[in-house]
Amino acid sequence: MSTSAPRFDLWSEEARIDPLPILARMRREAPVIRLFNPHQGAPVWFVTRYKEAVEFLRDPRFIKDKDKLSAQTRRLYFRVNELSHLDQHMINADPPAHTRLRSLVAKAFTPRRVDDLRPRITTIVNRLLDGMQDKGSVDLLEAFAMPLPVTVIAELLGIPSEDHGRFREWVNILFTPPVGGDFEPLRRMAREFQGYLQEFLARRRAHPREDLTSALIAAEEQGDQLSGAELMSMVFLLLIAGYETTAHLLGNGVWALLRHPEQKELLRTNPWLIDSAVDEMLRYRGPVKNTTTRFPLQETEFGGQLIPAQEMVVASLLSADNDAEQFPEPERFDITRTPNRHIAFGAGVHFCLGGPLAKVEAVLAIPLLLERLPQLRFAVDPATLRWRTGILLHGLEQLPVAF
């Protein structure tokens, strides 16, 4: 057995501090490559160039439905059976099942519903800023970036505010790789989350309200409705997909602004640039590092490589959005960048459903943050900041700021 260090170690401390140099080497030397995920104890293929990432995400040969995989593949990649009642959602489905699930939620999760949230989002942002203002310094993730999206999505779904804190812990467990192969915290989280959602959904069925959950219960498409497990999985997906992702958009976005004071000043004096600034934040250090997983059912030629049947493949969105073939001078953080066709929200049929909501939150939150805290700055040496582990999200563990 070889003991030499892997050529591209995306799980190393070096990659945790800054994965971009390794990703740049991968794009150059091996743009479609099989690596070994030590947390999972299994191989995973990475697609790192922009052009191929988009092709891969639009390629129907790569599927998501676990039921189509062999028992052996499922055992290798999916260890936690307790999640099976929570994972019958669109991100794990292929067309036509995916189309059906997505159109049922699209009926309830309309652009109008997102637009109607603007005043409420502004109120929540101001309330969070009121709570911070006299403190002088805070962890911006804890005090601002985490509470905002969880409050918005939970209110949208009609989940009582006293329960929001529990999601923080559950979602954190879900996105943290199991330490030493111990899946027990994940199993416990799945049981607790499921128990919570079962009770919540029973209450909503008995007493519908004006919220998205009630709309989902009622949503019918060609006489079709969501089954019990599908409904529970859908609410679970909306909660987890919209929480830490949006939090790290805010965290990574503020981090980028503080590291580029001239861009921060440009935005402060030209607030109308906020839409393109948020797109640049998504491109420069998007919160979703890699897509969720896909599998070829047969041996498949892709990007000059033969990918064996039933091996996991992901696209590195962080890498694709920093590919110089697509974005001139990708390491330059430029809030006026045009064009900026980043794929931080993915591509193809699974393109993020909540992108407009995440953007509205950032577009409202960041200008207010800069306006109300004009002295906003790092409270520690930015070189000491730690990025969280895990293959899916790219976000800071803490972001201590002073103002």
Binding residues for ligand HEM (CB under 6 A): 57, 90-91, 102, 153, 237-238, 241-242, 245-246, 249, 286-288, 291-292, 317, 344-346, 350, 352-354, 357-358
- Cis peptide before 96, with omega less than 30 degrees from 0? yes
Closest distance of CB 402 from ligand HEM, Å:
26
Residue closer to ligand HEM by CB (options 108, 273) is 108
Residue closer to ligand HEM by CB (options 22, 344) is 344
Closest distance of CB 391 from ligand HEM, Å:
12
Strand 32-37 to strand 42-47: parallel, antiparallel, or no bridges (unpaired)?
Answer: antiparallel
Closest distance of CB 126 from ligand HEM, Å:
20
Q: Residue 266: which of 255, 254, 257, 279 has the closest Cα?
A: 257
Start-to-end C-alpha separation, the chain: 54
Return d(Cα 225, Cα 215) in angstroms, integer.
11
- Cis peptide before 367, with omega less than 30 degrees from 0? no
Element at 105 (helix H, strand E): helix 97-108
Closest distance of CB 373 from ligand HEM, Å:
22
Residue closer to ligand HEM by CB (options 90, 232) is 90
DSSP-derived secondary structure for 67-95: GGS-HHHHHHH---GGGGGT--SGGG--T
Return d(Cα 51, Cα 325) in angstroms, integer.
9
Contact 103, 244 (CB under 8 A): no
Closest distance of CB 205 from ligand HEM, Å:
21
Residue closer to ligand HEM by CB (options 344, 403) is 344
| Residue of closest CB approach to ligand HEM | 354
**Residue entry with tokens 């694709």:** 320
Closest distance of CB 104 from ligand HEM, Å:
12
Residue closer to ligand HEM by CB (options 140, 238) is 238
Residue closer to ligand HEM by CB (options 42, 402) is 42
32 residue type, one letter: V
